[in-house]
């Protein structure tokens, strides 16, 4: 394998940091291209002590100016959000790791795919908001869209050597989050601190809250629909609190394949960068005898209505998932800002969905319009709710 140049969108985040850890383990296989951050200058300085990227993007103009005043870094420094698409589409990239959070990743991810550059995708909101457009763009330019999300990486691995028509259904596993056994009454009272304490994974704040509401699994159903070109009825969710079986595929003969491993995102990141090759790792091994018990149970959509909302928009299609995603981003941010209760999140999303009519076969302009309409509506709904004490 000749060394691949890897550009990381969102290099200062949880996935970005773990991607850099993987690159550091395999200097012969991977070279760092560009790295980007919203405004995490401290983390950028520490990355530069270890790595020499080709260039840096800092989206926040003030943070960028401050960085330029203080750094001794000699490479290219670009300021502003537009530079994300510019570095994503750079001709020297072999692969772009899309690890921004939220809708902000749509344009840069499309920019890379339009140039025929392969994308390793962590930023699931890109496929939720613009799945059809993103997958047709990839097909047209023959670029690969490789999943980093552990469930989708598991399914891609289970599908190696299989035919599409052999798939009966896929089963996405979910840990169930920190509130798996909570009653509705208990869910009303959960605090931000409790919601940010995920039992199995250490991740950025947005996906951690999404995991607690189970919206993360809802977004992953939509992500899977586009990555594997499935019918909504072929996508199931199963609660598996141990997070060892990362997902499963059931075939038409009734046989099931699953992919197992410890909950460590470096594994799916490495696989996305090296597939179909597997590189030896020094990571801890899964000791099934020590784990002893693996359990599975169906999800409860009454206590976790985000899952039902996601299934509804998956079936509706068009810009319905874009609207759900935007309303969820606003609601999660409002919860993080302590403006609403945990159980207000699905209420805000449902109300936003009721008030906006989705359009089919959306263009990028339709998607951007649906996203911003849903955001402002969701913000209005947040403002009408009683402020949380
Ligand atoms: P994070 O919050 O830790 O990092 C986000 C990164 O994006 C940071 O570098 C930040 O500076 C940058 N960023 C954030 N908002 C931005 C904006 N508006 N413009 C430009 N840059 C921006 O998030 P994360 O946990 O690394 O997650 C990244 C994506 O990967 C999410 O879509 C998440 O759902 C997905 N994902 C994460 C994990 C995980 O273990 N962390 C697992 C599976 C999927
Ligand atoms: Mg996942």
Give CA–CA dist 55/7, Å, rounded. 9
Average pLDDT over residues 103-131: 98
How much distance in Å is there from the Cα of 62 to the middle of ligand 2? 33
Q: Does any domain span residue 24? A: yes
Cα R_g (the chain), whole angstroms: 20
Answer for the pair 374, 323: CB distance below 8 angstroms, yes or no.
Answer: yes
Closest CA to 307 of 381, 218, 190, 379: 218
Give CA–CA dist 89/112, Å, rounded. 4
Residue reference for tokens 């089963």: 171
User: Does 201 sit in the ligand 1 pocket, CB within 6 Å?
Assistant: yes
Q: How many CB atoms lie within 10 A of CB 5?
A: 17
User: Does 203 sit in the ligand 1 pocket, CB within 6 Å?
Assistant: yes
Q: How many CB atoms lie within 10 A of CB 363?
A: 11
pLDDT at 30: 98
Residue reference for tokens 């509130």: 179
Q: Is 157 helix (H, G, I), strand (E, B) or coil?
A: helix
User: Does 59 sit in the ligand 1 pocket, CB within 6 Å?
Assistant: yes
Give CA–CA dist 218/134, Å, rounded. 19
Beta strands in the chain (DSSP E): 4-9, 30-37, 55-58, 76-79, 95-98, 118-121, 145-147, 167-174, 235-239, 245-251, 256-260
How much distance in Å is there from the Cα of 299 to the middle of ligand 1? 26
pLDDT tens track for 132-150: 999 999 999 999 999 999 9
pLDDT at 1: 63
Phi, psi of 196 (to 5 degrees): -80, -5
Q: Does any domain span residue 101? A: yes
Closest CA to 73 of 56, 95, 98: 56
Tokens of 389: 């004490």
Q: Does any domain span residue 124? A: yes
- Is 90 exceeded by the pLDDT of residue 386? no
How many domains does the chain contain in total? 1
Give CA–CA dist 353/305, Å, rounded. 13
Q: Does any domain span residue 155? A: no
- Is 80 exceeded by the pLDDT of residue 26? yes
How much distance in Å is there from the Cα of 222 to the middle of ligand 1? 18
Q: Does any domain span residue 280? A: no
124 is in which domain, residue-wise?
A: 4-147
Determine how β-strand 235-239 pairs with β-strand 256-260: unpaired
CATH of the domain at 58: 3.40.50.720
Q: Does any domain span residue 385? A: no
Q: Does any domain span residue 16? A: yes
- Is 60 exceeded by the pLDDT of residue 283? yes
pLDDT at 334: 98
User: Does 123 sit in the ligand 1 pocket, CB within 6 Å?
Assistant: yes
pLDDT tens track for 220-246: 999 999 999 999 999 999 999 999 999
Task: Give the list of residues 6+ apart from residue 326 with CB closer than 8 angstroms, or none.
Answer: 103, 129, 352, 370, 371, 372, 374, 375, 378
Give CA–CA dist 124/149, Å, rounded. 8
Q: CA–CA distance from 188 to each of 64, 133, 185, 311 (Å)?
A: 40, 37, 5, 23
- Is 70 exceeded by the pLDDT of residue 196? yes
Q: In what order do the strands lie in the sheet with 245-251?
A: 235-239, 167-174, 245-251, 256-260
Nearest atom (ligand 1) to Cα of 39:
11
Q: Identify the band that residue 182 occupies on the pLDDT scale cut at 50, 70 and 90.
A: very high
User: Does 64 sit in the ligand 1 pocket, CB within 6 Å?
Assistant: no
Q: Does any domain span residue 194? A: no
Closest CA to 118 of 152, 136, 142: 142
């Amino acid at each position: 394998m000749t060394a691949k140049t890897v550009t990381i969108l969102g290099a200062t985040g949880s996935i970005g940091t773990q991607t850099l850890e993987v690159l550091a383990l395999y200097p012969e296989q991977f070279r760092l291209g560009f790295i980007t951050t919203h405004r995490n200058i401290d983390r950028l300085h520490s990355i530069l002590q270890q790595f020499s990227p080709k260039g840096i993007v800092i989206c926040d103009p003030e943070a960028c100016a401050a960085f330029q005043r203080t750094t001794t870094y000699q490479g290219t420094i670009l300021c502003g959000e537009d530079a994300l698409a510019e570095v994503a589409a750079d001709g020297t990239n072999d692969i772009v790791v899309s690890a921004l959070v939220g809708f902000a990743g749509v344009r840069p991810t499309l920019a890379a795919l339009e140039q025929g550059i392969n994308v390793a995708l962590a930023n699931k909101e890109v496929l939720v908001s613009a799945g059809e457009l993103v997958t047709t763009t990839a097909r047209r330019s023959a670029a690969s869209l490789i999943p980093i999300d552990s469930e989708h990486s598991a399914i891609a691995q289970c599908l190696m050597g299989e035919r599409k028509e052999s798939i009966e259904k896929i089963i996405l596993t979910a840990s169930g989050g920190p509130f798996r056994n909570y009653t509705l009454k208990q869910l009303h009272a959960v605090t931000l601190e409790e919601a940010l304490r995920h039992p199995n994974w250490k991740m950025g704040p947005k996906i951690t809250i999404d995991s607690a509401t189970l919206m993360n699994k809802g977004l992953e159903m939509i992500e899977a629909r586009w990555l594997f070109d499935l019918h909504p009825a072929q996508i199931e969710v199963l609660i598996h609190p141990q997070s060892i079986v990362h997902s499963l595929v059931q075939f038409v003969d009734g046989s099931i394949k699953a992919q197992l491993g410890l909950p460590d995102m470096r594994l799916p990141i490495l696989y996305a960068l090296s597939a179909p090759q597997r590189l030896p790792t020094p990571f801890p091994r899964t000791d099934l005898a020590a784990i002893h018990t693996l359990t599975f149970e169906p999800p409860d959509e009454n206590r976790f209505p985000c899952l039902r909302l996601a299934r509804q928009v998956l079936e509706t299609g068009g810009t319905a998932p874009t609207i759900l995603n935007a309303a969820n981003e606003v609601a999660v941010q409002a919860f993080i800002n302590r403006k609403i209760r945990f159980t207000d999140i699905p209420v805000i999303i449902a109300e936003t969905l009721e008030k906006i009519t989705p359009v089919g076969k959306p263009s990028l302009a339709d998607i951007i319009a649906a996203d911003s309409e849903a955001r402002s509506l969701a913000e209005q709904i947040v403002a009408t709710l009683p402020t949380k004490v």
